[in-house]
Amino acid sequence: MSELDRVKEQLVYLRFWLGIMVVTEISLVGWLASTADTATPTLLVFAIAGILLLGLGIFLLHRQIERRIEQIGRL
């Protein structure tokens, strides 16, 4: 397998996980918005922490994808 094909496959895999993370974050934000008044404080803290961690993960994964795209441009 050539280097270009390997990097393209990595890019597809990273984009797959990025999509999963984005959908998960959207779902978590929607759940939080719909149950913020009835959820326990502990559950709210965990939900907010999850949203923040997922946001950070999405940002870091996006940067990885940008690096792979730059790497493809150099090949």
What's residue 66's pLDDT?
Answer: 97
Q: Output the pTM of the full model.
A: 0.88
CA gap 51, 2 in Å, rounded:
38
Exposure string for 39-57, b = 16+ CB within 10 A, e = fewer: eeeeeeeebeeebeebeee
What's residue 48's pLDDT?
Answer: 97
Q: In whole numbers, what is the pLDDT of the chain averaged over residues?
A: 96
Closest C-alpha to 46, from 57, 31, 61, 26: 31
Closest C-alpha to 13, from 21, 1, 23, 24: 21
- Using an 8 Å Cβ cutoff, are 68 and 11 in contact? yes
Please write the tens of the pLDDT for every residue from 30-63.
Answer: 999 999 899 999 999 999 999 999 999 999 999 9
